[in-house]
Structure 1
Amino acid sequence: MDPLIQANGQPHYGIFPTAPSVINYRDFDFRSPMGRRLGPLAKWRRFHQFQYFGLISDQLIGGCALANLSLAGIGFVYLFHPASGRMIERQFKLPLGFGTRFSQQPNDGVCELRSGRNLLRLENHAASQEKRLLVELDDGTRIDACFTEATPAFQSMCINTPTAVNGWVYAQKVAGVRCTGQVKSALGDFDLAAIEAFAHHDWSAGYMRPETCWNWACLSGQAGAQRVGLNLSCGVNETSFTENCFWLDGELIKVDTVRFSYDREQPLQPWRIDSYDGQVALQFEARGLHQERMNLGVLASNFKQIFGQFRGVLRPHGRAAISIDNLWGFVEEQYVKW
């Protein structure tokens, strides 16, 4: 596909069969809400980008994220061992993003954060359609995980939506793919292929609402003979189009809007997630939590990513229902001011 921003300074909108070649945000005709043309400084300040790589299996759960918030570069990584309930987690915040770099090509290039002897690195390779996570921490923790969208063929969710009065958000989502690689940590050493791990991936960027919040849910696993992945959200990426979908053996099944029902004061209590079109009816039971709070005045975040197990049913139109029986995955609640 062509670059996201067209020659007239306006983005392509919609759900795309393939990813844009580049998120060329500097070419965007960025205006104030009253129509005044904004310059390079405003484009830099308001553009935000993040990437996430998740690992899912019965024996090990993991997540790593990098975010470029213009005024700060942020990263986190965690590993959770379901059998013991033990967890490793680290967080990094770097002023003005010093020590980070971010490619604006969704399917190619490197995003990484370096802090002392710690490295968080996400690589996307266009030729092989591979995505790789490399984490090296000063306590000896090492994650080297990889998946491919080439074999068997996988349909990514690639979407760009208008946001607020003058913005847009591009998002690219993957879930329900087999993962290979190695994890070495205080929780033990794991061969990801041997423990039948799955992966999911999120690449997002754009001019998001200056103050926003959202819910998100994702699962990956084996349901009978089928590989299943799920990506649902509420509160972002849903103006004109939504990113809601699930995958059966790599085939993307579009889903309508969804409702997240849960107790915000007790997020570890059960969640209920249902789609308006009836294709999704799930309950989520929490098993653990990664959370962060940050309040720097101009930047603020209250973030909860909860990992646990889903039960329920997926009902693709015109097909047999898919029973979801204790598949591992994530739900999320996030508030952001940026």
Structure 2
Amino acid sequence: MDRLIQANGQPHYGIFPAAPGLVNYRDFDFRSPMGRKLGALAKWRRFHQFQYFGLISDELIGGCALANLSLLGVGFVYLFHPASGRMIERQFKLPLGFGSQFSQTPDQGVCELRSGGNLLRLENSAASKEKRLLVELDDGTHIEACFSEAEPAFQPMCINTQAGINGWVYAQKVAGVRCTGQVRSALGDFDLTQIGAFAHHDWSAGYMRPETHWNWACLSGQAGEQRVGLNLSCGVNESSFTENCFWLDGELLKVDTVRFDFDRDQPLQPWLINSYDGQVELRFEGRGLHKERLNVGLLASNFKQIFGQFSGVLRPTGRPEVRIDNLWGFVEDQYVKW
């Protein structure tokens, strides 16, 4: 599929075998809930896009995100050292996104944010099927990380769903891939290959509900002889299709709807995550979190990303069950008005 939006102005919907060449949102026939055609200004204001790169290992956990919220460019990065409990985190907010750029080609191009002596950069290459993260902070923190979907072959989750009466969300997810690169920081220096790091990646864009909420879970690691990745959500990307899935050695296996059971006031307490079809039965124990709050009238966000360990079982249909024993990963509790 060359373009997500068809010639008639309507999106392709469904789960796709590969990413569209271009998320051509400007060609979308955007209407008000009452059917009135909306122009270029409304298309710009309501289109939102974000990209996330996560690092997962027993020795180091990291996350970096960039978001284009039209009125605001947002970025964050953090590193967590499980052995010591120490953490480095930085947040950036750029009015109207000045100092940032975003590509609408999911498998190709650059998304980055520059603020003073700080750089957050995510670069995707269609030719090599690589996703790269570069972080340079004015405190000396330096992160270079990369994974490939080519060797061994990996099947990403590529999905587009309707969002409310007049929107849609394209999401592209990867988990359970090995990660290479280097990290230099006040927490220490790390070779990502030597510490057995895995990566998670999320590229999402579209006309999301003006007020929305979601929970999300992801894990990556080694379970016995298999590389395992997991991507589950509840509250978004669920109209007719869901993004819920896990990967065994890069093979995508679809999962039904899921339920997140947790205490919103105490997010570091255990979470229980179960799928309706019985393929997922997990318990998550939080070890730390990154959180942000924003409330400036037109924009509001109450965001918690918790990192910790999963235990439980995956039951792929017609295959032996896969035991999950203290694998590191993430969960989220997110409210947004935009």
TM-score, with structure 2 as normaliser = 1.00
1:294, 1:32 → 2: CA distance?
Answer: 26
- Equivalent residue for 2:201? 201
- Which amino acid counterpart does residue 272 of structure 1 have in structure 2? L
Matched residue, 2:321: 321
Partner of 1:97: 97
What secondary structure sits across from 1:74 in the alignment? Answer: strand
**Equivalent-residue separation in structure 1 for 2:225 and 2:281 (angstroms):** 20
Aligned equivalents of 2:264 and 2:291: distance in 1? 14
Amino acid at match of 2:274: D
Amino acid in structure 2 at the alignment position of 1:277: D
Residues 95-121 of structure 1 show CA distances to partners (whole Å, capped at 9, x for unaligned) of 000000000000000000000000000
Runs of 4+ aligned residues of structure 1 deviating over 3 Å after TM superposition are: none
**How far apart in 1 are the matches of 2:48 and 2:143?**
26
Offset at residue 77 of structure 1 (A)? 0.1
Kindly report which structure 2 residues correspond to 1:126-137, keeping only aligned pairs within 5 A, or say none: 126-137=126-137
Deviation (angstroms), 1:162? 0.4
Q: What is the match of residue 282 of structure 1?
A: 282
**What displacement does 1:2 show?**
1.9
Q: Secondary structure at the match of 1:10?
A: coil
Look up the match of 1:42.
42
In 1: Cα distance, 2:156 partner to 2:57 partner: 21
CA distance in 2, matches of 1:261, 1:328: 19
Q: Gaps (5+ residues) in structure 2?
A: none
- Whole-angstrom CA distance in 2 between matches of 1:282 and 1:31: 41
Amino acid at match of 2:107: N
AA matched with 1:303: F
> Counterparts of 2:100 and 2:264 in 1: how far apart (Å)?
33
Distance in 1, Cα, partners of 2:126 & 2:266? 42
* Residue 121 (structure 1) aligns with: 121
The residue type paired with residue 23 of structure 1 is: V
Q: Determine helix, strand or coil for the equivalent of 1:3.
A: coil
Aligned to 1:87: 87
Aligned to 1:226: 226
Per the alignment, residue 270 of structure 1 pairs with 270
1:26 paired residue number: 26
Cα separation, 1, equivalents of 2:160 and 2:276: 21
Per-residue Cα deviation, 1:34-88 (whole angstroms, up to 9, x for no partner): 0000000000000000000000000000000000000000000000000000000
* Counterpart amino acid of residue 66 in structure 1: L
Q: Distance in 2 between matches of 1:125 and 1:264?
A: 38
Q: CA deviation at 1:23?
A: 0.3
Q: Deviations over 1:5-32 (max 9, x none)?
A: 0000000000000000000000000000
Determine the structure 2 residue equivalent to 1:162. 162
Q: How does 1:301-316 map to 2 (within 5 A)?
A: 301-316=301-316
Who is 2:175 aligned against? 175
Matches within 5 A, 1:187-266: 187-266=187-266
SS at match of 2:45: helix
Could you list the runs of 5+ residues in structure 1 that have no partner in the other structure? Answer: none
Deviation at 1:248, TM superposition (A): 0.1
SS at match of 2:84: coil
Q: For residue 171 of structure 2, give the secondary structure of its aligned residue in structure 1.
A: strand
> Is 1:53 the equivalent of 2:53?
yes
Q: Distance in 2 between matches of 1:194 and 1:269?
A: 31
After superposition, what is the alpha-carbon deviation per residue over 1:97-153, rounded to whole angstroms, capped at 9, x for unaligned? Answer: 000000000000000000000000000000000000000000000000000000000
CA RMSD, 1 decimal: 0.3
Please state how far the C-alpha of 1:203 moved relative to its aligned partner: 0.1
Structure 2: distance between partners of 1:10 and 1:165:
13
Query: What residue identity is the alignment partner of 2:212?
Result: T
The amino acid that maps onto 1:87 is: M
Amino acid at match of 2:99: G
Q: Offset at 1:265?
A: 1.1
Measured in 1, the distance between the counterparts of 2:77 and 2:264 equals: 24
**Counterpart code for 2:58:** D
Question: For the residues of structure 2 that align with 1:266 and 1:196, how far apart are their CA atoms?
Answer: 31
